[in-house]
Amino acid sequence: MALIQLIQRINNVGVAVADLQRSLDFYQQIGFAVIDRDDATATLQSGTATLYLFQTDNAAALSRAADLIHNPLGYDHLSFDVEDVDAAYAQLSQQLTFEEHPADQSWGYRAASLRDPDGNRIYLLSPLSTS
């Protein structure tokens, strides 16, 4: 019996934040637009990526390392495809601090990373040329 494909795509990623406005400012700087908002939540979109930000009163953060291997359970980071990591870095680094500059990765992408206001790691990715 063939399995029916139930999941078609990710609808949104929920991100608990300590300060909604501060996080909105950050995500708008990296290209997201607010498509819905109330006092404690906001839905943002960029291309086909949708984020649902919600303000939490539990600001106890888990510490996560760039090496991934020793991190606590749970979703670890967000990765966004960009056309050109170096161009995105050049534009965004004028306003935001990156933790890792653009570099080719052994897993087939050029990547740069930064953190949102609550310490969540954001990767910007472009596939390496196969030519």
Higher-pLDDT residue of 17 and 71 is 17
Convert the pLDDT of each residue in 75-113 to its tens digit. Answer: 778 999 999 999 999 999 999 999 999 999 998 999 999
Convert the pLDDT of each residue in 23-49 to its tens digit. Answer: 999 999 999 999 999 999 999 999 999
Cα 102 to Cα 41, 55, 88, 93, distances in angstroms:
32, 31, 10, 11
Helix or strand run (H / E) with residue 77: strand 77-81
Q: Identify the three-state secondary structure at position 93.
A: coil
Architecture, CATH, for domain 77-131: Roll (3.10)
Q: What is the pLDDT of residue 56?
A: 85
Residue 23 CA to residue 128 CA, distance in Å, equals: 30
Question: What CATH number matches the domain at 9-57, 3.40.190.10, 3.40.50.300, 3.30.200.210, 3.10.180.10?
Answer: 3.10.180.10
Which pLDDT band, with edges at 50, 70 and 90, does 61 fall under? Answer: low
Comma-separated ranges of CATH 3.10.180.10 domains in the chain: 9-57, 77-131
Which pLDDT band, with edges at 50, 70 and 90, does 7 fall under? Answer: confident
Q: What is the pLDDT of residue 75?
A: 72
